[in-house]
Amino acid sequence: MKVLSVIQPWASLIVLGRKHFETRSFPTHYRGELAIHASKGFPRDCKLITHREPYARLLDDVSILPLGAVLGIVRLIGVTEIASGGRTTAEKIGAVDEVAVLAIAEDEADLNRVRVNSRAAVTFAITRDEHGVGDFSPYRYAWELEVVERFEKPIPAKGNRGLWDWSRP
């Protein structure tokens, strides 16, 4: 199974189903099930943001964020490039499903209104909370995820960069 290592608190937000897009500096051709691994390192600045909004509200308990373990499985549905103008290499080689203009909605109920009112050919609409927990800058890629399984007990594993292979014990 493919795995993506993610620093806390983002790894937990993903498997809790509170972060639907993992933003990366690179696209991927891969689609399908993907295990989410919480990196062993937890930098000080990342610890500090867990006490700020929207993190504090979205996380269950910031004192127990697992490190160095696989937390669950998600499905990578698609990859959207945040519009930067012009056609990019990722779009040309087919590593992204679409290139879209970012629009921010107040909440889930507001998403459709934002999409309809956009003047862009393709609008990538996300909630304010989603925007608050990701880097949706131009030239970045939003990997759309849906939770398949959250492990009751995280499975210790040594992480890696990029997508890597793992066998569930």
Residue with structure tokens 């990859």?
Answer: 79
Structure tokens at 61: 């308990």
Do 20 and 146 form a contact (C-beta atoms < 8 A)?
yes
3-state helix, strand, coil in the chain (%, to 5): 20, 35, 45
**Structural domain contains residue 67:** yes
Q: What is the pTM of this model?
A: 0.82
Question: Containing domain of residue 149, as a range?
Answer: 2-163
Number of domains in the chain: 1
Q: What angle do CA 78, 79, 81 make, to 5 degrees?
A: 150
Least confident of 61-65, 131-135, 140-144, 159-163: 61-65
pLDDT of residue 99 exceeding 90, the answer is no
- 14 beta partners: none
**Structural domain contains residue 69:** yes
- CATH number, domain of 132, equals 2.30.130.30
pLDDT of residue 128 exceeding 60, the answer is yes
How does pLDDT run across 146-157, given as a tens digit for each residue? 999 999 999 999
**Structural domain contains residue 168:** no
Structure tokens at 62: 């910031």
**Structural domain contains residue 95:** yes
pLDDT of residue 117 exceeding 60, the answer is no
Residue closest to 127 by CA, chosen among 55, 21, 15: 21
